């Protein structure tokens, strides 16, 4: 019986990993208001509208003296890209979850710089 349960849990974990649905785990971790570090990205759900979150990201980058190199937006997702002076790229994804909840994902550099991402996230949340 224990072996069947263990096999089922492992199969579920592999299914999530294969499907790329790590966002499910991020949402569960971030729902408590804490940031989760997954796959080189810092992810957090915030209590703010999609539009307000986009404005907060832009304000935070400006306050950190980082220019916006590229911005794309669709109905439920926006991505803002910037660069540090040392060449590391910053990707910030803003996802509409509901009217009052938005998910923000931050990745700094190819392998993900956790401390740099945390600094940017703290600045973003100060504008929300």
pTM: 0.71
Could you tell me the CATH number of the domain that includes residue 71? 3.30.310.80
Residue 14: burial class (beta carbons within 10 Å; 0-12, 13-18, 19+): exposed
The pair of structure tokens assigned to 112 is 């993900």
Domain tally, the chain = 1
pLDDT tens readout for residues 86-109: 889 999 999 999 999 999 999 999
Q: Dihedrals φ, ψ of 109, to 5°? A: 75, 165
pLDDT tens readout for residues 27-55: 443 343 566 666 789 999 999 999 999 99
User: How far, in Å, CA of 86 to CA of 74, rounded?
Assistant: 30
Q: Would strands 101-108 and 77-83 be described as parallel, antiparallel, or unpaired?
A: unpaired
Provide the residue range defining the domain that includes 10: 2-126
Residue 38, helix vs strand vs coil: strand
């Amino acid at each position: 019986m224990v072996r069947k349960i263990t096999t089922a849990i492992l199969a579920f974990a592999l299914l999530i990993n294969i499907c790329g649905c790590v966002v499910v785990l991020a949402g569960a971790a971030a729902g408590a208001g804490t940031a989760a570090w997954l796959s080189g990205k810092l992810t957090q759900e915030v209590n703010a509208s999609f539009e307000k979150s986009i404005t907060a990201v832009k304000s935070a980058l400006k306050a950190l003296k980082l220019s916006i190199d590229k911005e794309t937006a669709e109905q439920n997702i926006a991505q803002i890209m910037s660069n540090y002076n040392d060449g590391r790229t910053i990707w910030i994804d803003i996802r509409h979850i509901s009217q009052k909840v938005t998910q923000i994902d931050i990745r700094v550099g190819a392998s993900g710089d956790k401390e740099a991402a945390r600094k940017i996230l703290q600045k973003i949340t100060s504008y929300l």
